[in-house]
Amino acid sequence: MTSNLRAETIHFDSYDGNSVEAYLATTESDEKVGGVVVIHHFPGYDEATKEMVRKFAANGYNAVCVNLYYRESPDASPDDAAAAARASGGVPDDQLVGDVGAAAKYLRALANSNQKVGVIGYCSGGRQSVLSACSLTLDAAVDCYGAFVVESRPESTMTSIVELLPNLSCPLLGLFGVEDQHPSPEQTETLRELLSKHGKDFTFHEYDGAGHAFFAVDRPSYRPEVATEAWGEIWKFYGQHLSDKK
Amino acid sequence: MCTYDTERITVTGSAKGADGWFRATDATISYDHPVHFGAGHALLVDLINPALGASSRVGLELNAESARELALAILRSLESVPAGLLES
């Protein structure tokens, strides 16, 4: 692996025929490689998320992140687009699944694709990663501290996706901070019990000294030692499920 | 966590954003992840005009204590307006 990559903004037609914006990073490799759909957090399609997309390409994967707010705010900055999305209650689940599915199709069509595609999401994207893996045929999914997977709040527009868990199509890696309250350790335990009950393949890691958003390098919640260890788990997991090499 | 709890009200007034003044028609208030303020969560206020697009926005990200003080100061200011000056 050379760590060489190419990163660029692209547009492609999504599931509904609408063109969406996305950030694509492709790895320079003569061998066939896996792909990763990165789901950005609620604050938007920002620099920190694009850095994660490049990190996947530097580590031997093709990766793409769809700007989930592009439809409603095509010309706005990421923060303004995120504010508009927040005002409207967030991205509808059907639209999210459609965009992730279209992104996975885009990755599989790349010349150096091995046809395996995983998904990863952070914060709100954690829930959306599980949602995608329960709605699409994927090869691996990573949930980074996603709330509202097993819980709902009556005052919120977001609902749990417990009823979809029997449909989980691929192995799931869950990365959580024990100091996080959303999802709390109790909620993580509930998810663990449900996945076990449904006979699903999953691995959870819960890190001491970390709360929500420990991967976010531009936020005070960043925990470098935990993030480094958790990135190691991601490489191991994707290496097992997205690589042709075993 | 992302709370997804957003209060939305209609407002009458103007706000000055990145491209200058615009007529503000709505305000949203939530307690969620900030973009710039260095905290996990903050009280977010956006004065917006959706008809002009997402960029017509003035955003505030305040810690909870500051937000309460701001709200109280606004009310104190309005209560101290001399009789006859308040316009609807």
Contacts of A208 (CB under 8 A, 6+ apart): A178
| Cβ-nearest to A42 among B33, B38, B50 | B33
Contacts of A68 (CB under 8 A, 6+ apart): A39, A40, A45, A85, A91, A95, A96, A99
User: How many Å apart are CA A133 and CA A168, to the nearest integer?
Assistant: 6
Cβ contacts (< 8 Å) between B26 and chain A: which residues?
87
Where does the pLDDT of residue B87 fall: very low under 50, low under 70, confident under 90, or very high at 90 and above? confident
Contact B2 A181 (CB under 8 A): no
Contact assessment for residue A82 and residue A42, using Cβ atoms and an 8 Å cutoff: yes
Contact A80 B57 (CB under 8 A): yes
Q: Is the peptide bond before A183 cis (omega within 30 degrees of 0)?
A: yes
User: How many Å apart are CA B82 and CA B79, to the nearest integer?
Assistant: 8
pLDDT at B28: 96
| Structural tokens at position B71 | 């709200």
Contact B6 A79 (CB under 8 A): no
CB-defined contacts A:B, below 8 A: 87
Span A22-60, pLDDT tens digits: 999 999 988 999 999 999 998 889 999 999 999 999 999
| Structural tokens at position A150 | 């097993």
Contact assessment for residue A151 and residue A189, using Cβ atoms and an 8 Å cutoff: no
User: How many Å apart are CA A146 and CA A128, to the nearest integer?
Assistant: 8
Give the DSSP H or E segment for B74. helix B64-79
A246 pLDDT more than 80 = no
Mean per-residue pLDDT of chain B: 93
Query: How large is the average pLDDT for residues A94-100?
Result: 97
What is the side-by-side strand order in the sheet with A140-144?
A5-13, A19-27, A62-66, A33-39, A113-122, A140-144, A172-177, A202-207
Sign of CA dihedral A153, A159, A165, A170: negative
Cβ contacts (< 8 Å) between B35 and chain A: which residues?
43-44, 46, 79, 82
Query: How large is the average pLDDT for residues A83-99?
Result: 92
Contact B1 A123 (CB under 8 A): yes
Domain A5-241 has CATH 3.40.50.1820: yes
